[in-house]
């Protein structure tokens, strides 16, 4: 499931942030999404957060800034967060 989420996240980043110059293959799973990796900024982070909430129904409200930064560190960490959250929601 996590591999599917990684692919979806890459497509989501490209479409929601209008990054037509790159493909999903250009985005490395362990590369920083912000701070040098893809070079995204705080506005992009907000847009991506909203897109993730809409796509997966995951709320970031109530999470600390440090938690959110760790979730958004890379595609790997974001996919892990989404996968774990969806698993928790389905078992409740």
In the chain the domains, ranked by start, together with CATH numbers, are: 2-91 (1.10.1200.10)
Distance CA 51, CA 60 (A): 12
Distances (CA, A) of 6 to 60, 65, 80: 18, 22, 9
Q: What is the pLDDT of residue 77?
A: 96
According to DSSP, residue 92 is labeled: -
> Which residue has 């692919």 as its token pair?
7
- Other CB atoms within 10 Å distance of the CB of residue 45: 16
Q: What is the pLDDT of residue 28?
A: 94
pLDDT tens column, 16-49: 999 989 999 999 999 998 877 788 888 998 999 9
Give the pTM.
Answer: 0.88
Q: Are 31 and 54 in contact (CB under 8 A)?
A: no
pLDDT of residue 92 exceeding 80 = no
């Amino acid at each position: 499931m996590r591999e599917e989420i990684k692919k979806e996240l890459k497509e989501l980043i490209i479409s929601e942030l209008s990054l037509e110059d790159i493909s999903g293959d250009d985005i490395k799973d362990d590369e920083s999404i912000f701070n040098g990796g893809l070079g995204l900024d705080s506005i992009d982070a907000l847009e991506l957060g909203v897109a993730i909430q809409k796509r997966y129904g995951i709320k970031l409200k109530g999470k600390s800034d440090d938690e959110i930064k760790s979730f958004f560190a890379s595609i790997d960490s974001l996919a892990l967060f989404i996968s774990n959250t969806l698993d928790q929601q389905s078992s409740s």
